[in-house]
Amino acid sequence: MKIVNSDQMKQLDRMVIEQFGIPGVILMEHAGSVVLEEVLKYIEQKENKEVVIVCGLGNNGGDGFVVARQLFNKGIPLKVVIIGNPSDIGGDAKINYDIIHKLKVDIHILIGANNMKKFADAIKGCGIIVDAIFGTGLKREVDGYIQEIINIINGSGKQVIAIDIPSGIGANDGKVYGMAVKANKTVVLELPKICNIHYPGIEYIGEMIIKSIGMPKAVFENIRLNINLITKDMVKEVLPFRKKDSYKGNYGKAYVVAGSTGMTGASILTCEATLRSGAGLLKIPVPQSLNTIMETRLIEAITVPLPEFKKGVVGISDIEKIIKTMEESDVITVGPGSGNSRELEELLRNILEHTSKPIVLDADALNSLAKRKELLELITSQTVMTPHVGEMSRLTDLEIDYIKENRIEVATEFSRKWNTVVVLKGSRTVVAGPNGDIYINETGNPGMATAGSGDVLTGIVTGFIAQGIDPLKAAMAAVYVHGMAGDLVAEKLGEYGLMASDIVKQLPFAIKEIIGK
């Protein structure tokens, strides 16, 4: 499913109007009509049917005026509260304001801090509030008397339906600009905006209802919309079909460089997830002293015991053997639980220099890149990096808070700069590709914020690439499957007791639910 920012939505509106000859006032009529449907669903079961529509001076307010006219024509009691001077209303919104003004709809004007008590009393007497104050154009802090209006709405205890975006939320970043309406339901017009699926904005939208406002399908073919919400159908489309006449070689060979003394668990989780995701064969280069542990736990994998320059750490003392065995594989993964060491840095350098195979880099491999950023210049293979915000901060020298507030931009810029797929982990994980395509995931739950969860994700990415899925699509599918498996665990065990190993166990069930068998 496509997601748009405010500029893209404006461009779509303009194309519909200019290329297809559909007037903006018609789009506004459709917008008001789909919002009306949701208002009627609510009030038809309630005794108090009075509706208060709080409108701004722009197109979002114009949508509200359409709702008002249609409610008025149905004989439903309502009040329209306009924030600001009606003389400043223009364009299509003015057409619809003039109509409700001539119909003598009950209109109240709020300018400045006066009449706040009157507004609070009007809200108190209604059954439902429609928020039509700000739309996608908000780019400034909400303050002064408008902040007080939103505060009254939020404290009213009434059902609130927002049009497109709860007022006070930035369309492109999901930020709260001073104060925002807390909606019970948001009617999203045509396509979700970034704020509809991005924190903290999603905490304000309530139930999201996506409604078409009559834009022709052809308009979407004339503009590149690069932001996507990952869906089950998208994942199903990229997962490979398994023929009955097949063998392990059909599903790829994975090579995972992971684990060190005290951190074998990370390696085990990654390797189990690789196999549970469908990889046909898995090889693991293992420090000699850890081989027994790995062989005992990972009975389906092949271990490659290696001499140790430093106890419990895969080093460069046998780099030729590592290079030879890794080149027999279809994907190479480095980093989970590998430990921060000079040995790993040199091993990573050698791997980057000697392979053309797809590479997945996580955890300590990312820390090695952060320490020696010149290694980034060596990346020539198709590469997937899976940093959390702390690792991304070290890679980019950006503050963690800045990354959290600009997740899409940071992931996209890093991806383009270093020609790598970036999986910026967290709630609403962002997957960015070098071609500018962005995927946002909405599966998963807070219980997955636990040690080892990221190692499992790395294993899923590895398993999918091993099976021949393009690295960007593999990362997209992996974050969805990972979150879905975590959701299956949460349904059974709750979020508090969820462990990474539980996610691994649910991977086959998540994949089965997606592909339908």
**Alpha-carbon distances, residue 270 vs 54, 274, 381, 486, 500 (angstroms):** 52, 6, 21, 15, 10
| 454 appears as a binding residue in the annotation | yes
| 277 appears as a binding residue in the annotation | no
| 265 appears as a binding residue in the annotation | no
| Amino acid residing at 222 | N
**Structure tokens of 58?**
């722009």
| 33 appears as a binding residue in the annotation | no
| 60 appears as a binding residue in the annotation | yes
d(CA 463, CA 468): 9
| 167 appears as a binding residue in the annotation | yes
**Structure tokens of 109?**
């004007």
Write b or e for each residue in 225-252: b if 16 or more Cβ atoms lie within 10 A of its Cβ, otherwise e.
bbbbbbeeebbeeebeeeeeeeeeeebb
| 131 appears as a binding residue in the annotation | yes
| 444 appears as a binding residue in the annotation | no
| 455 appears as a binding residue in the annotation | yes
| 427 appears as a binding residue in the annotation | yes
| 425 appears as a binding residue in the annotation | yes
The verdict on whether omega for the bond into residue 200 sits within 30 degrees of 0, i.e. cis, is yes
d(CA 255, CA 304): 10
| 266 appears as a binding residue in the annotation | yes
Output phi, psi for 128, to 5 deg.
-150, 145
| 428 appears as a binding residue in the annotation | yes
Count of C-beta atoms within a 10 Å radius of residue 75 = 7
| 158 appears as a binding residue in the annotation | no
| 91 appears as a binding residue in the annotation | no
Say if CB 68 and CB 105 are below 8 A apart.
Answer: yes
| 463 appears as a binding residue in the annotation | no
| 63 appears as a binding residue in the annotation | yes
d(CA 473, CA 490): 26
Count of C-beta atoms within a 10 Å radius of residue 193 = 28
| 137 appears as a binding residue in the annotation | yes
| 56 appears as a binding residue in the annotation | no
The enclosing H or E element of 510 equals: helix 500-515
The enclosing H or E element of 367 equals: helix 364-371
d(CA 387, CA 366): 7
| 138 appears as a binding residue in the annotation | yes
Q: Which residue positions form the known binding site for K(+)?
A: 60, 131, 167
Q: Which residue positions form the known binding site for AMP?
A: 425-429, 454
Q: Which residue positions form the known binding site for (6S)-NADPHX?
A: 59-63, 135-141, 164, 266, 337, 388, 455
Q: Which residue positions form the known binding site?
A: 59-63, 131, 135-141, 164, 167, 266, 337, 388, 425-429, 454-455
